[in-house]
Amino acid sequence: MAEFVTLETSDDHPGVGTILLNRPPMNALNRQVQSELAAAAEEATRRDDIKAVVVYGGPKVLAAGADIKEMNDMTYAEMSKVAGRLQSALGSIADIPKPTVAAITGYALGGGLEVALGADRRIAGDNAKLGVPEILLGVIPGGGGTQRLARLVGPSKAKDLIFTGRFVGAEEALAIGLVDEVVAPDDVYDAALTWAGQFRNAATIALAAGKKAVDQGLGVDLTTGLKIEEQLFAALFATEDRVIGMTSFVENGPGKAEFTGK
């Protein structure tokens, strides 16, 4: 039984799983939390009853970064052995082949923001503060922040945040594309559940293919990206959902298909 990170479902929101971070007071991401986060992401991937995932840290904070006390006395030799595991764990949300959304209340800093960067969408409260302040500790983001942040907001804006370590408020985060939606703090989780809930009856294999095409395509040239799309598109013609979707469209019009996820 995980102590700090759980995967929860509710009858009120069928098909949606919530990965909940709960290590008071600030959800510091120590090695145990990292391990439990990776396990929760793997479980969300495996479970057929979960069609989309919300990542949430509770009403006060998503996560205020890694556990610096745990890192303080580590040597280069020690960190070089675990840095890859840290990066993989904080980026594990990106490995879920389903729609994911980070519900950000309060602080999402350092590793906390890196967790959110792995989601497909980010919804923030208007009181949220986001940033990668690792430079103030004499290091750089090591959980995927330099790469995912630059791909999301562009290299210039990413460098500004990485170089200065400054915090970004919700409105600036929205303006630069760091978050996709800003709502009242009390509405953040419900807004994330609503977004995730729209996929509970969707064609799950096609969703996974669309996500894979975009994510893999971002790392290659256009010609290679188009080949990735071509192969994923053609492969969907081997699925039951493709037959169901197209038959339903021909017979009943758009938006009425009842997919099976096969």
Contacts of 1 (CB under 8 A, 6+ apart): none
pTM confidence score: 0.95
Give per-residue burial for 145-182: e unless 16+ CB within 10 Å, then b: bbbbbbeebeeebbeebbeeeebbbbeebbebebbbeb
**pLDDT per residue of the chain (262 residues) written in tens, 0 to 9:** 789 999 999 999 999 999 999 999 999 999 999 999 999 999 999 999 999 999 999 999 999 988 898 999 999 999 999 999 999 999 999 999 999 999 999 999 999 999 999 999 999 999 999 999 999 999 999 999 999 999 999 999 999 999 999 999 999 999 999 999 999 999 999 999 999 999 999 999 999 999 999 999 999 999 999 999 999 999 999 999 999 999 999 999 999 999 999 9
Contact 3, 36 (CB under 8 A): yes
Question: Tell me, what's the pLDDT at 25?
Answer: 95
* SS3 assignment, position 247: helix
Q: What are the catalytic residues?
A: 66, 111, 114, 134
Would you list the domain boundaries of the chain? 5-197, 204-252
**CB distance 134 to 166 below 8 Å:** no
Kindly state which CATH superfamily the domain 5-197 is placed in.
2-enoyl-CoA Hydratase; Chain A, domain 1 (3.90.226.10)
**Domain 204-252: homologous superfamily in CATH:** Lyase 2-enoyl-coa Hydratase, Chain  A, domain 2 (1.10.12.10)
Strands (E), 152-234: 168-169, 181-183
